Amino acid sequence: MEENYLDSVKKQFAYYKLLGERTFAQLSDEELFWSYNNDSNAIAVIVNHLWGNMLSRWTDFLTSDGEKEWRQRDLEFARVIKDREELLAKWYAGWECLFTALEAINATNFQQPVYIRNQGHTVVEAINRQLAHYAYHIGQIVFVGKMCRGDGWESLSIPKGQSAAFNRQKFAQKKGRGHFTDGIIDDGK
């Protein structure tokens, strides 16, 4: 059970990471910093928040509270990232911290409690909390990307009007066990 769960969740995190990266690839440098209005977050701001959250939650995941004393959450929502290079550096640093922590989970520590702001979680609860949080924000990244690109947006899933063809292709295959990300992501990261 634990191994299946961990394999699945690693693939799901990798999938959301890929959605962000495929969005970044479609955007100009200026579009990474665009926001709808002053109360909206630009993609660069969302990335900065994800980076701060990931470092806080996944550093010493099993041994220290997920809300680190050194985290400056309010600063995560400031426009501090200056260019695409810095955005990508923070993006990759956050994901590296996450995947390193996931690799350290095994049968001997799977039942260990994980604390976030002194609230105890099971390992599964703590991971699911972060998976949902990151999917939420990466959905925002994709949405802002779609707003920026307009008609030039290249779909990251089944394009509109192509569901029937996609389903025909899938149902033409033999039934079998697999993960929905098979063929989309390569090595789980």
Q: Measure the CA–CA gap between 118 and 114, rounded to whole angstroms.
A: 9
pLDDT of residue 184: 85
Q: To 10 degrees, what angle do helices 123-149 and 43-58 make? A: 170
Domain limits, the chain: 2-171
Measuring CA to CA, which residue among 152, 149, 137, 133 is closest to residue 34? Answer: 149
Q: What is the arithmetic mean of pLDDT over 61-70? A: 97
pLDDT of residue 3: 87
The answer to whether the CB of 6 falls within 8 A of the CB of 61 is no
Does residue 189 surpass a pLDDT of 60?
no
**CATH placement of domain 2-171:** 1.20.120.450
Query: What pTM did the predictor assign?
Result: 0.93
The predicted-structure confidence for 89-143, as pLDDT tens digits, reads as follows 999 999 999 999 999 999 999 999 999 999 999 999 999 999 999 999 999 999 9
